[in-house]
Amino acid sequence: MKSGAFRWARPLPGAHWDVPVHPDRAEPPDLRESEARFRAFVDHATDAFFLHDDELLVIDVNRQACTSLGYPRDELIGMHPRDFDVGLDEATLGRLADRVGAGETVTFESLHRRKDGTVFPVEIRAGQFQQADRRFRLSLVRDITERRRTEEELRAAQSAFAAERARLAEEIHDALAQGLAMIVMQLADAEAKLGPAWAKAEKPLGLVRELAVQSLAYARRSVTMLQPSTPAAGLTRAIRDEVDSLRQRFGVTLNFAVTGSAVLLPTSVESALAEIAREALTNAARHSRAARVDVELAFGDGGAVRLAVADDGVGFDLENVRADASGLTSMQDRAARTGVALTFVTEPGAGTEVVVSWSQ
């Protein structure tokens, strides 16, 4: 080094900062080695690093910044973000710069343009730091092309899934539900025309009608749940329909209460809750000898939901459940498959409460 010459000292390694240092105050070798290691670390980072001065001009970059934009390092130095960032207008860029200048670290998405003119999406995390009496801006830039592609594929899959649900709902409505509705109507017409003769086959025909009515209600619930335009409307309607149906067929006082604001639930969860409610209500009405059944559907914060079916019937011993108790087994299987929490609170002579809950 010539006598009287200056060198650039101790910013980030390789940064062109105009802080003159006299040769007599040269940095020790161990500090130079530390800076060299840090420079190697920065250059091998998978994110692009941009160091800016207070006017946002680039004063240093790492290797990934050069690779991602297709510029050599000496061309990038001196550029302004507007030279390669095409996703931000001047006003937005100014607002972001003001936030960073106020000491905030901001994360945002934009578009960068390579030297060859191609554009790619990026996520930028920008902040500032102070060294001596100078302020510098640092931007860490990540190429999010793969993330965007994954998001697009996910949206396409969700759209296809929604279309398939709509198709299934239409088929169930047009074929199954309408066919069942016609069976119920024809049975009613046959009963009216047969008059006293209906009594000869009243038991089997009554069973056919009951099965048709139940199947029609199930088909209609399925159609509702396959059309998720209204959050949890299908679940509420399914339980209300079951309560109304059992109230008409059994001499039991049935109460249904809904609390909280309905939320959009995954189809599998909504279906499981509806089926567990149906099993619990059927068991209470047919087997518990209950005079009263209370049903509560509660929606909580953050997408949580809780369903409770409580009766004042005979209860049962959880340690000695009959082998043919298919309703209990069915509820447990559905809960296990969908990840909902299922609890039975009961003992002989003390009634039964079935509680099922789920949260995101």
Give the CATH number of the domain where residue 249 resides: 3.30.565.10
Last residue of a domain, one of 114, 143, 172: 143
Residue with more model confidence, 36 or 341: 341
| pLDDT(28) > 70 | no
Q: What is the pLDDT of residue 38?
A: 65
- Please give the C-alpha separations between residue 323 and each of 112, 157, 286, 320, 328, in angstroms, as whole numbers: 67, 43, 18, 9, 10
Using 50, 70 and 90 to split pLDDT, how confident is the model at 136? very high
Tell me the CATH number at 39: 3.30.450.20
Please provide the average confidence, as pLDDT, over all residues in the chain.
Answer: 82
Mean pLDDT confidence for 73-89: 93
In a domain, 133, yes or no: yes
> What DSSP character marks residue 350?
S
Q: What is the pLDDT of residue 337?
A: 87
Q: Are residues 99 and 169 in the same domain?
A: no
Mean pLDDT confidence for 103-127: 94
This prediction has a pTM of: 0.47
Q: CB neighbours of 54 closer than 8 A, spacing ≥ 6?
A: 134, 135, 136, 137
| pLDDT(269) > 90 | no
In a domain, 300, yes or no: yes
Residue 135's H or E segment, with its range, is strand 134-143
Q: What is the pLDDT of residue 257?
A: 93
| pLDDT(175) > 50 | yes
| pLDDT(10) > 70 | no
| pLDDT(19) > 60 | no
In a domain, 250, yes or no: yes
> What DSSP character marks residue 85?
B
Mean pLDDT confidence for 83-112: 91
Q: Are residues 12 and 109 in the same domain?
A: yes
Q: Are residues 241 and 333 in the same domain?
A: yes
| pLDDT(295) > 70 | yes
Phi and psi at 311, nearest 5°, equal: -125, 165
In a domain, 347, yes or no: yes
Q: Are residues 223 and 235 in the same domain?
A: no
Q: Are residues 223 and 274 in the same domain?
A: no
DSSP helix/strand/coil, 290: coil
Q: Are residues 139 and 174 in the same domain?
A: no
| pLDDT(174) > 80 | no
Residue with more model confidence, 42 or 310: 310
In a domain, 153, yes or no: no
Q: Are residues 239 and 359 in the same domain?
A: yes
Q: Are residues 198 and 266 in the same domain?
A: no
Q: What is the pLDDT of residue 27?
A: 57
Q: Please give the residue range of the domain that contains residue 94.
A: 7-143
Residues comprising the chain, all counted: 360
Q: What is the pLDDT of residue 12?
A: 45
Exposed/middle/buried for residue 194 (C-beta within 10 Å: 0-12, 13-18, 19+): middle
Using 50, 70 and 90 to split pLDDT, how confident is the model at 116? very high
| pLDDT(23) > 60 | no
| pLDDT(218) > 70 | yes
CB contact at 8 A, 7 and 15: no
Residue in 231, 233, 357, 350 with CA at minimum distance from that of residue 296: 357
Mean pLDDT confidence for 306-318: 90
Q: Are residues 71 and 176 in the same domain?
A: no
Last residue of a domain, one of 209, 227, 245: 227
Residue with more model confidence, 343 or 181: 343
pLDDT over 70, % of the chain: 85
Domain count, the chain: 3
> What DSSP character marks residue 12?
S
**C-alpha span between 216 and 222 (Å, rounded):** 10
Q: What is the pLDDT of residue 114?
A: 96
Cα dihedral value 294, 300, 305, 307, nearest 10 = -10
> Residue 52: how many CB atoms within 10 A of its CB?
22
pLDDT over 90, % of the chain: 31
> Residue 280: how many CB atoms within 10 A of its CB?
30
In a domain, 36, yes or no: yes
Q: Are residues 244 and 324 in the same domain?
A: yes
In a domain, 298, yes or no: yes
Lowest mean pLDDT among 79-83, 119-123, 166-170, 239-243: 166-170
Residue 259's H or E segment, with its range, is strand 253-259
In a domain, 244, yes or no: yes
Using 50, 70 and 90 to split pLDDT, how confident is the model at 25? low
- Please give the C-alpha separations between residue 90 and each of 86, 95, 107, 142, in angstroms, as whole numbers: 10, 9, 17, 21
Q: Are residues 183 and 266 in the same domain?
A: no
Mean pLDDT confidence for 104-124: 94
Q: Are residues 55 and 182 in the same domain?
A: no
Mean pLDDT confidence for 208-222: 79
